[in-house]
A = this chain, B = another copy of it.
Amino acid sequence: MSGSKCTRLAGPLVKQLLESVDTVLFDCDGVIWRGDQAIPGASQVINLLKERGKKVFFVTNNSTKTRKMYAEKMSAMGFNVTENEVFGTAYCCAAYLKTICKLEGKVYLVGSPAMRHELEAVGIQQTGVGPDHVSGKPIDWANVPLDPDVKAVVVGFDEHFSYTKLNRALQYLLQKDCLFVGTNRDTRLPLEGGKAVPGTGCLLQAVETAAQRQAQTVGKPNHFMFDCLAAQFGVERERCLMVGDRLDTDIMLGSNCGLKTLLTLTGVSTVAEAQKHQESGCAERQGMVPDYYVESIADLLPALQG
């Protein structure tokens, strides 16, 4: 437990670290599963942590699932989890609009059915999801009928993103008092075999460029996701560990919130990248250097079983 960072977590250090924390936050994709495959040993780690009295939470930038959908997916994989332990951006975005913005009005939603569901669950009306194809000419687009009750534009992952949706978002955002919230800025959604598809960050960037305004994002590395769970569960920062596979979102979130941080190498980022940040001498990049790293969260198993 020295002051040095980016230390390989092994041997007696594992037990020492686990004893120093009451709460462990896990990113999901690349950490406890990859696609539809659980990381071997992940469910035992999670379940044993809970048996040992640790609070465990799941924080994910993916906005395409509700808390309930996550809990079901995880239960099917053998994780002992309840939906109120899951903090995805679909839920957190709704919570942000409700508790921080105290939104009175409707949302123009660029997003998924899961986002619609989480908004409705906190009593926020929205304009609907699904395809919205173009028709007419530029002057018709500029004069597209707007719903006068809309007081916020929300952008999450939307496979039906289109020029028409981009234009509607712009027309709402030209109203100065219209709020502008994004779920997250991930530029790509990584998939098996090193493949990737465009992430929410691309869609958000298009809307921001049109509107010449910057959205408030709720996802990692923004502190809101942590604030949200800390407010509900009374987490002590100094006794909290953030575990993730991405330096720019997971580890940065931990740094932003004053948590201990652990990089796992089953996902996107590498130790070499972390070391480059460390050696850069750039203050901002130090937030992307984890305290510790492991090959897989399965490396925590022996200490939990012993």
Contacts and interface: CB of A to CB of B under 8 A. Distances in A.
Interface stretch (A189-197, A224-232, A242-250, A279-287): A189-197
Contacts of A199: 210
Contact of A158 (B141, B163, B167, B202): B163
Interface string A149-176: 0000000001111110011001000100
A142 interface: yes
Contact of A210 (B170, B191, B202): B202
B159 A160 contact: no
A68 to B, nearest CB: 20
Tallying the copies of this chain within the complex gives 2
B163 A134 contact: no
The 6 closest A-B pairs by CB, nearest first: A142-B195, A198-B210, A206-B206, A161-B163, A202-B209, A202-B206
A170 B195 CA distance: 11
A276 interface: no
A115 interface: no
Interface in A203-254: 203, 205-207, 209-210, 212
A138 B197 contact: yes
